[in-house]
């Protein structure tokens, strides 16, 4: 099970996530309370083990800006959260993770039409931090490529095991679910990662 901890803002938080077993570290370059400078990410990334994948999160930014930031930050993946076109994604110099806001089964049908290494299913914008989660049963029953599916949207250490059991994704993604007062919490990251890896290891 791949675990992605998103919204990392400091080297210390990144190192804590990696220490506890995170595989992907997400850095936000779109407008957000978790937005970071690409230069900082470049410094953080250079201090992390080589096998850790650095993911940059973008939303409706220009192609030139995304490419420039990806180079400065030393990214491994570009995650697109806006209305980026298929042709936009195909011009990216790195593998793409495309995020989709899921409200119904119709939203799930759009996933495989998009050229991406991974499809990230998430709650609609504005839903995070409100205790909401996706309809795991609906996603679990959908005909989706599990080896390309990243599950996000309201995950916490308390519910990630149930989510994985219902959906069987290749990866899970969390941001606010491992924070306390808006700051990454080492104990919550450890609990989340342990729950995700344990569930996957048990084949639940």
Catalytic residue among 6, 135, 137, 173: 6
Q: Which of 129, 135, 132 is nearest to 175 (CA)?
A: 129
**Active-site pick, 23, 76, 107, 122:** 122
Taking CA 120 as the corner, what is the angle to CA 62 and CA 31, rounded to the nearest 5 degrees?
40
122 counts as catalytic? yes
Active site residue 6: yes
Q: Is the separation of the CB atoms in 156 and 187 below 8 Å?
A: no
Contacts for 128-132: CB closer than 8 Å, 24+ residues apart:
128/153, 128/154, 128/175, 128/176, 129/176, 130/154
Question: Across the strands, what pairs with 97?
Answer: 79, 118
Sign of the Cα pseudo-torsion (189, 191, 197, 203, in order): negative
List residues with catalytic annotation.
6, 122
């Amino acid at each position: 099970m791949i675990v992605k901890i998103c919204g990392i803002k400091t080297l210390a938080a990144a190192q804590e996530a990696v220490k506890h077993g995170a595989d992907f570290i997400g850095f936000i370059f779109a407008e957000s309370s978790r937005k970071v400078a690409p230069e900082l990410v470049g410094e953080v990334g250079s201090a992390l083990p080589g096998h850790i994948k650095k993911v940059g999160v973008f939303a409706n930014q220009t192609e030139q800006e995304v490419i420039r930031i990806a180079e400065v930050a030393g990214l491994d993946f570009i995650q697109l959260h806006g209305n980026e076109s298929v042709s936009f994604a195909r011009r990216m110099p790195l593998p793409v993770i495309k995020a989709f806001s899921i409200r119904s089964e119709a939203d799930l049908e759009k996933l495989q039409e998009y050229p991406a290494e991974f499809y990230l299913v998430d709650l609609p914008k504005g839903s995070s931090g409100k205790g909401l989660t996706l309809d795991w049963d609906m996603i679990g029953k959908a005909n989706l490529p599990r080896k390309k599916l990243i599950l996000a949207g309201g995950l916490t250490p308390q519910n990630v095991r149930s989510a994985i059991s219902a959906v069987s994704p290749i990866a899970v993604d969390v941001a606010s679910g491992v924070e306390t007062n808006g700051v990454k919490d080492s104990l919550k990251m450890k609990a989340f990662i342990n729950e995700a890896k344990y569930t996957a290891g048990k084949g639940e």
